[in-house]
A and B are shown apart, each in its own frame.
Chain A
């Protein structure tokens, strides 16, 4: 959740990125949406944004990015377009007493790109935590870009999802071959239950003669079970996998920090 002050800061930064014609459109439409009487226009205006606002990716100054990272940890990990910002401004214009009803109903009819922006925008809302069930549902998607909108550079999941939903997000990242290092605050989301599910997954894959992502060990390190240690001792590894396995076999290994795992993930 962004505080009121942070929200204002974001709105000011966002507005500075539009030309005057676009800004006029946004101001006129946010006025309609912020009025309880006419807020039902949200769906239509959210969709029509693509006809009135450019789709180019925004460039931010280092100073702006620094502010945005405080407001929305992970913001700088993924690109944002003008349309994305305009749509988030529309979300922020909804009165907090009705934004849950309206946004959740809109999720049911949102097209692919709209779903992406909705999931990325939720964290900015004052009542972001009200949307945790929606985000848990979003993890069930099979549209990769929609999944990435939740998983990648988005602080919502770790902050508001319960452990069960969070663990599904991490598990599903592996099933969808999505990089883990882009999941915001991934290392803070380690837990024993997750590590156990992942080790079961490793066993299943190895039994089938298949490989696992090296990033799995990021979530397993510290919870390595004896049965997995036994399997490891029976297998041979080479290259980077050999290096990673050797590292995780060491107790309380200080080398296994976030920077190490980010490097493995990007490899």
Chain B
């Protein structure tokens, strides 16, 4: 079965991860712009980071037969440095216009400060201007209020819930999120957020409609194979192939496909990756045996 991981920070991952992800059936990933584990101090750092998401990382993924897409946005943590945030907001439009940018994100609240609120709203307006979906990061602390408030603000700005993914849900938030017509994404982490088994139970309870599984793998303890592993556990526990397909592939394609930048044909056509295309000294192969990998899109 083919899988999409619609939330993963590949800049922090290794080439082993890429190889294993492709072997496990992941054909496409979405990398949301986020913080780097510590705050940046100048707008140039953001510019180079966004450029890397649409440049080098896109190329790196392609060498392993994985199509790489991204979302662009100012994350809520760094929105608290207002002087810097102003400059970052100014450079967002030029990146939002680019091919393969499938949403504004991940944006939302962290501490739910006034500054976070200000730049969240500005970026919702940008999503409208560029007719792009939105990926919402919900806070770890005061999650309930943060999630509800995010939805209130989105509706205040006249954005259709059908164009918005609310991420990092749990058993509690999923009810509100789905009832209000949003897409509910779940981050499967080995220790925190959501576990694979809890995810199986959620799909058993709620079905597959509007539900999306992702790994949010990054520089912390996380697992880039969360999506295929959760799919396998669903299968073992009697979840139907249809529900697995929807939660681990199709729903992500449907919501982010609304951008016009996320097309199944990009990866369903046969792809040949000639690893000899790699620069021996400086790119990813570094003297390893070059392989030609043929991927026939299977569905």
Q: A interface vs B, CB < 8 Å?
A: 43-44, 47-48, 50-51, 108-115, 142-145, 147, 172, 175-177
Contact = CB atoms under 8 A, between A and B. Distances in A.
B228 to A, nearest CB: 27
A175 B279 CA distance: 6
A47 B47 contact: no
Interface of B: 47, 50-51, 54-56, 58-59, 91, 93-95, 97-100, 260, 276-283, 290
Contact of B56 (A109, A142, A147): A142
Given A43-B97, A177-B276, 8 more contacts: A47-B98, A50-B99, A109-B51, A110-B51, A111-B51, A111-B100, A143-B59, A144-B279
Nearest to A114: B98
Contact of A175 (B51, B91, B280): B280
- Top 4 A-B pairs ranked by shortest CB distance? A111-B54, A47-B97, A50-B99, A176-B279
Most chain B C-beta atoms within 10 Å of own C-beta, residue among A43, A113, A143: A143
Given A50-B99, A113-B99, A145 B59 contact: yes
Contacts of B260: 51
Contacts of B47: 108-109
Contacts of B59: 112, 142-145
A47 B98 CA distance: 5
Contacts, number: 68
Contacts of B281: 175
Nearest to B58: A112
A142 B281 CA distance: 10
Nearest to A172: B279
Most chain A C-beta atoms within 10 Å of own C-beta, residue among B58, B100, B278, B279: B279
Most chain A C-beta atoms within 10 Å of own C-beta, residue among B54, B58, B281: B54
Nearest to B47: A109
30 contacts: A44-B97, A47-B94, A47-B97, A47-B98, A51-B99, A51-B260, A108-B47, A109-B51, A109-B91, A109-B94, A110-B51, A111-B51, A111-B54, A111-B98, A111-B100, A112-B58, A112-B59, A113-B99, A114-B98, A115-B55, A142-B59, A142-B279, A142-B283, A144-B279, A147-B279, A175-B279, A175-B280, A175-B281, A176-B280, A177-B277
B97 A109 contact: no
A206 B99 CA distance: 44
Given A144-B59, A144-B277, A145-B59, A48 B97 contact: yes
Contacts of A114: 98-99
A209 to B, nearest CB: 12
Contacts of A111: 51, 54-55, 58, 98-100
Contacts of A108: 47, 51
Contacts of B58: 111-112
A2 to B, nearest CB: 27
Nearest to B68: A112
B97 to A, nearest CB: 4
A110 B54 CA distance: 8
A147 B282 CA distance: 13
A108 B97 CA distance: 15
A90 to B, nearest CB: 13
A109 B95 contact: yes
A144 B55 CA distance: 12
Nearest to A147: B279
Contacts of B99: 47, 50-51, 111, 113-114
A110 B55 CA distance: 7
A176 B282 CA distance: 9
A263 to B, nearest CB: 20
Contacts of B100: 111
Nearest to A43: B94
Nearest to A47: B97
Most chain B C-beta atoms within 10 Å of own C-beta, residue among A47, A109, A110, A111: A111
Contacts of A51: 99, 260
